[in-house]
Structure 1
């Protein structure tokens, strides 16, 4: 049985502020598949207008050029999806191919990053520069793209083969984890480089991104400076801004490889859909010089609309939308089992990485994000999660074993929004318990405490997570 120490908070009553987990923008709406798609409650009229326009752009399907439209063409030449919504299902998690190898359907939400290992000289050159530099596959680039416009050949399709891994739990229970092995079939441009590494990345939920961006940098760095015990030592991912050359703090994506929501959105337009924007002006996306037909394909930029397929004005609408998707109000905060699970969450030291709360900065760029008490349950730092989750791919200062602590807010409504959703960076975890059991490295001690719990305690812990 796990030893439960006294928590630092009184759990006899629910904290009223935690019900409003996304600050003043938290919404209390009917819990259904659209619960992640509402605008923040504190948006003004103009902000809601921009949000709705951005919503339309987020959902719309782009088409290849030339076409009868002059505002939705330019897709590709190689791409992963036709819309943002195709990956971020109902603004929540994406869907991975099925766990049955004979019935693996196309699942555009699982991207596969490609990289080569760095030489010692490359590593020394990068050391301290904070650049998001990975060496791409010389033919297939930084990302495998399973679709292509007419006249081009798709790059290939990912295949996942799972091996069952039983884990004995206290109380006579056994959990079965699914360990994935990745390969690529139907390669369209010859073999991958023999040293190319495959790193799958599942589209994460979109909730509360503007509030995470509004957390003061000093609060994140304070997380890195503290000693939360259990050998946990989170660290920031410092990046080099490609425009200004300044050092900036990474906050977004699975390895904190993007500093802002705007840059993450523009990067997705370029890498996932092959669409140019002011931040990523190349019309050909991730095409490489080895894919000779790519440069000759028509693009969708229209002179009278601007120099890019996604002009700056449209980019602003999508960014506003992405910054202001509201957090749903917490549920069952007074339930005895939820409160017991919360106590176990704290006592097991899960909060070493999943830091519960912050107050956003008073001078945040957007007024709706200023001075909000929020409960995201993340430190936004990198942690070594052990060999079981390692992908071998560096990103900025992040090593192949390190991952950013994902926020937990909204996690209990995952299956309400997308019944087929799964967890972790590659969707291998079919349940929240499986996600916990995959934790290793710095999280090993907390994971082992969960293994040692009684079945009733584990059920209470999951009940707490489902209330978020």
Structure 2
């Protein structure tokens, strides 16, 4: 049985495509054996799996008939002569079909109700709200900081899209520096092993460098980025220049950083499709994992198992650059505390990320109003912001039937990109929000951690993610980055100025795809980019 489960997992992952796709034996295994082995997987005991007992290796929300339908519809295509059924609607029934413009990422899911649309708009207002320092006359809005990076969620997630790296050498509020160190003694190692913490903050500056402060207090310091250009020659002689960033902190206000503290830059990601990602069955994500690389293809894929802050249970991390957050609500609460300095019931830090060493910060007033609740952003605020974040629609695909886009899709498959950028999932049936239930979606991500090589390593552990691992980011909406945000910066720190540069930074588990792209002719590379731009 153990061997059968391994075969199914390899087949469902369909790793390491090499041209020609149709001759790949793993694909033939998938076509002939997936449905039969799914039954074996569902019936098997999973005690030997490296996953917590609460995370099932099979979907419990589907009948056998539905399971067969899901396996059939999510099977990777072999036909690149025409679009696949429903491919236009990459966010399922909630896909936005509105005209493409700067507000494209700010549309509500198309299948929410009229009443839910009102809730969405209230959440949007809170997402855009500028918080102010305490005390203030606008008591429902005070509590900012005392140390912070921005006053509103929207100021970081520009137009609900991605941030941008600093230009001209000065720090930017949509690119943050996370501060952390690894365990240094047995007690800390035990806390990490038990998933009680993700890592350990700097003893003075906490878990994030905050360059802004309320009146009467100094910001912690300023991030500075320097770039060096590195020339790369592709197989056909084309020259591409990649920029390598280096980071430092200037004007530290409260003494030096701990020498063990690492700096990890994090660009704010797009907000679209988060509610759909939250409703992908854990079993479907875990089915793509191969932490021990049993199939020997060089691509592992590991889940980041984290402890849910509310329930205390171990669960699957799926949000954030290192998959460190299990839910949208937790991700929002962490951002309120770390980015704006606002406490929530989930993260009740009334002074944000101020450390015990920053006594002037802790002496500042907070914004808790007892008549409103025990946090600066009480439960109704969190409910609305969470609903808004769950229902930002994925835009429809474009140009899906154009020959160059179809050719690029074929290249995407044959170069092995889908080894990590899994095209399709079907969400769970019994979701809290019906708009996300049983939807065929096309995020192009497996939501697992992959070692991306030394070139992209930040050296910072986050839970189960080591210093060179990153969660595969979803690709939907990628081609609209320039339209929405007025820039085209990619990867976790925005170093890549084009999609081609982003691919050429892939190392580690992405090295094979990198090499195939670099060795392809210009027409095939251009077609691949056209496909990515259609997402």
Q: Kindly state the Cα deviation for residue 116 of structure 1 after the two structures are TM-superposed.
A: 2.1
Give unpaired runs (5+ residues) of structure 1: none
Bigger mean CA deviation after superposition, 113-122 or 411-420: 113-122
Does residue 260 of structure 2 align to residue 195 of structure 1?
yes
Query: Following the alignment from structure 2 to structure 1, what is the Cα–Cα distance between the partners of residues 438 and 274?
Result: 15
| Structure 2 counterpart of 1:463 | 530
2:223 corresponds, among 158, 169, 172, to 158
Query: Following the alignment from structure 1 to structure 2, what is the Cα–Cα distance between the partners of residues 352 and 227?
Result: 14
| Structure 2 counterpart of 1:433 | 500
- Where do residues 204-283 of structure 1 align in structure 2 (5 Å cutoff)? 204-225=269-290, 230-283=297-350
* Number of residue-to-residue matches in the alignment: 463
Does residue 180 of structure 2 align to residue 115 of structure 1?
yes
Greater relative contact order (Cα < 8 A, sep 6+): 1
Q: Kindly state the Cα deviation for residue 32 of structure 1 after the two structures are TM-superposed.
A: 0.6
Q: Kindly state the Cα deviation for residue 227 of structure 1 after the two structures are TM-superposed.
A: 6.7
1:297 corresponds, among 358, 364, 374, to 364
1:46 corresponds, among 107, 115, 121, to 115
Contact 1:213 1:260 in 2 (8 A): yes
Query: Following the alignment from structure 1 to structure 2, what is the Cα–Cα distance between the partners of residues 187 and 346?
Result: 47
Q: Kindly state the Cα deviation for residue 336 of structure 1 after the two structures are TM-superposed.
A: 0.3
Query: Following the alignment from structure 1 to structure 2, what is the Cα–Cα distance between the partners of residues 420 and 21?
Result: 23
Does residue 521 of structure 2 align to residue 454 of structure 1?
yes
Contact 1:36 1:327 in 2 (8 A): yes
Q: 1:171-219 CA deviation, whole Å, 9 max, x = no partner?
A: 2211111101100011111111122210010000001000000000110
| Structure 2 counterpart of 1:286 | 353
Query: Following the alignment from structure 1 to structure 2, what is the Cα–Cα distance between the partners of residues 283 and 245?
Result: 22
1:6 corresponds, among 16, 21, 41, to 21
Q: Could you say what the CA RMSD is over the residues aligned between the two structures, in angstroms? A: 1.5
Q: 1:116-153 CA deviation, whole Å, 9 max, x = no partner?
A: 23226256414542344311111101110000001111
Structure with more helix by fraction: 2
Q: Kindly state the Cα deviation for residue 106 of structure 1 after the two structures are TM-superposed.
A: 4.2
Question: TM-score when scaled to structure 1?
Answer: 0.96
Query: Following the alignment from structure 1 to structure 2, what is the Cα–Cα distance between the partners of residues 17 and 234?
Result: 27
Contact 2:181 2:461 in 1 (8 A): no
The verdict on how the C-alpha distance between 1:229 and 1:432 changes in structure 2, with shifts beyond 3 A counting, is farther
Query: Following the alignment from structure 2 to structure 1, what is the Cα–Cα distance between the partners of residues 203 and 465?
Result: 22
| Structure 2 counterpart of 1:382 | 449
- Where do residues 11-160 of structure 1 align in structure 2 (5 Å cutoff)? 11-98=80-167, 103-119=168-184, 121=186, 124-126=189-191, 128-160=193-225
Contact 2:398 2:534 in 1 (8 A): yes
Q: Kindly state the Cα deviation for residue 47 of structure 1 after the two structures are TM-superposed.
A: 1.1
Query: Following the alignment from structure 1 to structure 2, what is the Cα–Cα distance between the partners of residues 132 and 465?
Result: 36
1:371 corresponds, among 435, 438, 443, to 438
Contact 1:26 1:41 in 2 (8 A): yes
Runs of 4+ in 1 over 4 A off after TM superposition: 225-229
| Structure 2 counterpart of 1:179 | 244
Query: Following the alignment from structure 1 to structure 2, what is the Cα–Cα distance between the partners of residues 385 and 120?
Result: 28
Q: Kindly state the Cα deviation for residue 299 of structure 1 after the two structures are TM-superposed.
A: 1.1
Does residue 486 of structure 2 align to residue 419 of structure 1?
yes
Contact 2:18 2:416 in 1 (8 A): no
Q: 1:208-235 CA deviation, whole Å, 9 max, x = no partner?
A: 0000000001101101159787311101
Q: Kindly state the Cα deviation for residue 335 of structure 1 after the two structures are TM-superposed.
A: 0.4
Larger radius of gyration: 2
Contact 1:93 1:421 in 2 (8 A): no
Query: Following the alignment from structure 2 to structure 1, what is the Cα–Cα distance between the partners of residues 508 and 188?
Result: 23
The verdict on how the C-alpha distance between 1:57 and 1:273 changes in structure 2, with shifts beyond 3 A counting, is same
Contact 2:191 2:197 in 1 (8 A): no
Q: Kindly state the Cα deviation for residue 348 of structure 1 after the two structures are TM-superposed.
A: 0.6
Query: Following the alignment from structure 2 to structure 1, what is the Cα–Cα distance between the partners of residues 116 and 392?
Result: 12
| Structure 2 counterpart of 1:394 | 461
State the secondary structure of the residue aligned to 1:19.
coil
Query: Following the alignment from structure 1 to structure 2, what is the Cα–Cα distance between the partners of residues 6 and 402?
Result: 28
State the secondary structure of the residue aligned to 1:160.
strand
Q: Kindly state the Cα deviation for residue 16 of structure 1 after the two structures are TM-superposed.
A: 3.1
| Structure 1 counterpart of 2:68 | none
Query: Following the alignment from structure 2 to structure 1, what is the Cα–Cα distance between the partners of residues 295 and 496?
Result: 26
The verdict on how the C-alpha distance between 1:300 and 1:120 changes in structure 2, with shifts beyond 3 A counting, is closer
2:425 corresponds, among 345, 358, 365, to 358
Give unpaired runs (5+ residues) of structure 2: 1-16, 23-76
Q: Kindly state the Cα deviation for residue 421 of structure 1 after the two structures are TM-superposed.
A: 4.3
Query: Following the alignment from structure 1 to structure 2, what is the Cα–Cα distance between the partners of residues 238 and 143?
Result: 22
Q: Kindly state the Cα deviation for residue 237 of structure 1 after the two structures are TM-superposed.
A: 0.5
Q: 1:142-165 CA deviation, whole Å, 9 max, x = no partner?
A: 110000001111000100011111
Question: TM-score when scaled to structure 2?
Answer: 0.84
